[in-house]
Structure 1
Amino acid sequence: MPVPLRARGLRAAARCLLALGATAALSLGGAALPAPAATPTPSVTHAEPRPLAAVTSLAARRIALADKVAAAKYGTPAPIDDPARERQILDDVAARSAALGLDPALAQAVFRDQIEANKVVQRGLYARWDAHPEQRPTGRPDLATEVRPALDRITTELLGALRQLTPVRATPACVPLLTAAALRDAHSHRFDALHLKGLARALPSVCAV
């Protein structure tokens, strides 16, 4: 059965992100992603790349916060997978998106990806800290007062960004523009291979073609 165009495009984008992350890991010991090479901007008709850039920027900020989430939970009974908390987030996103005139199904799909991406990074950090105790965090951020308020602010901003996506996400340029924006954000945050993998996992529901 032929692979749908959208799936092919998103898989190609994810492969691009992950390949660059692997290159960074090999050449820099996993320290950071090198500056992306200049690439031609896709020709866009009736599409505006700024909403996509806003989405990838917020997704990258959320990925960066996964380190604090992991540090808050590591060595405690708090699980990485928390279905009750995840359902609460998705229900809240659906209610808020409906009030904004945003498709609740789209909002939930994107935020489900954000949650899974965060867990990818948490699991990777747990494995790293188990193998290298000297790299374990020396402090424990407070989930209730420090981490979750920051995540909530990103949620509000990301819902607003998604609301602006409708003219862009259904165009053929969506995937290449999304990939280019994600690479810029990954470089800005100096993401290593693990965080780049998380960012790739955060974005598959953004484009519709």
Structure 2
Amino acid sequence: MLHSSRLLTCTLLALFASAAHAATPSPAPPTLKPLLATLNERLNIGDLVALTKWDSGKPIQDSPREAQVIANARKLASERKLDPEDVAQLIAAQMEANKLVQYGLLAQWQAAGAAPDTKRPDLAKQIRPLLDQLQSRLLQQYADFAPYRHDPKCPVWLAAARSDLNRDPLHDLALTRATGELCVRPTTP
């Protein structure tokens, strides 16, 4: 009786230990953190773009520029052996997230009656070339992360990594939008 009680106890402890181990997610791939840092960097440039839009009075929506950026991304995708449609969706998500930041900041500044008194870089000469450089780095990092996109743990890794980049509700929401295309859920037949 004592032997079977010990055996039962050991079996239960082993089951609990294996369940706890199974519940612990595996660590994120090392390629995720640099990718998110670049996405976040790109997103934070939205603050500067918003300032230029505030000063110029130009609309946030710039469809011709967006089409040009996506066309360029498709070309770069082919050069990097990436699916051009996946890359187009990724870049479109970045632009939507960036616009979300811009709309949010413009609304805050309109309510306050003024934008921050900070230096404004030139949109065409300084900000857009920076965004173009970031796009090249972003696509390389995306290519490095691509093998993990279909992993069932991808959303857990992504949520944890995003939480490390929390800034404020507006930028958090925008980062969620920017990363919305990274993980691919399996399709059910």
TM superposition score normalised by structure 1: 0.73
Query: For the residues of structure 2 that align with 1:183 and 1:152, how far apart are their CA atoms?
Result: 26
Trace 1:1-209 onto structure 2 (pairs within 5 A): 42-43=25-26, 49-186=29-166, 191-209=167-185
In structure 2, give the amino acid aligned to 1:207.
C
Q: SS state of the match for residue 165, structure 1? A: helix
Structure 1 position 165, deviation (Å): 2.1
Query: For the residues of structure 1 that align with 2:34 and 2:55, how far apart are their CA atoms?
Result: 34
Query: Deviations 1:126-184 (Å, cap 9, x if unpaired)?
Result: 00000113543443220122211221121011100111123210111111111111111
Q: How many residues align?
A: 163
Q: SS state of the match for residue 154, structure 1? A: helix
Query: For the residues of structure 1 that align with 2:114 and 2:92, how far apart are their CA atoms?
Result: 33
Quickly say closer, same or farther: Cα 1:167–1:138, change in 2 above 3 A: closer
Q: SS state of the match for residue 115, structure 1? A: helix
- The corresponding residue for 1:20 is none
Query: For the residues of structure 2 that align with 1:63 and 1:43, how far apart are their CA atoms?
Result: 28
Unpaired stretches in structure 1, ≥5 consecutive residues: 1-39
Structure 1 position 72, deviation (Å): 1.1
Greater RCO, 1 or 2 (C-alpha within 8 Å, sep 6+) = 1
- The corresponding residue for 1:30 is none
- The corresponding residue for 1:15 is none
Query: Deviations 1:48-86 (Å, cap 9, x if unpaired)?
Result: 622222221111101111100111111324220011000
Contact 2:162-2:175 within 8 A present in 1 as well: yes
Unpaired stretches in structure 2, ≥5 consecutive residues: 1-22
Moved over 6 A (4+): none
TM superposition score normalised by structure 2: 0.80
Contact 1:41-1:177 within 8 A present in 2 as well: no
In structure 2, give the amino acid aligned to 1:162.
Y
- The corresponding residue for 1:34 is none
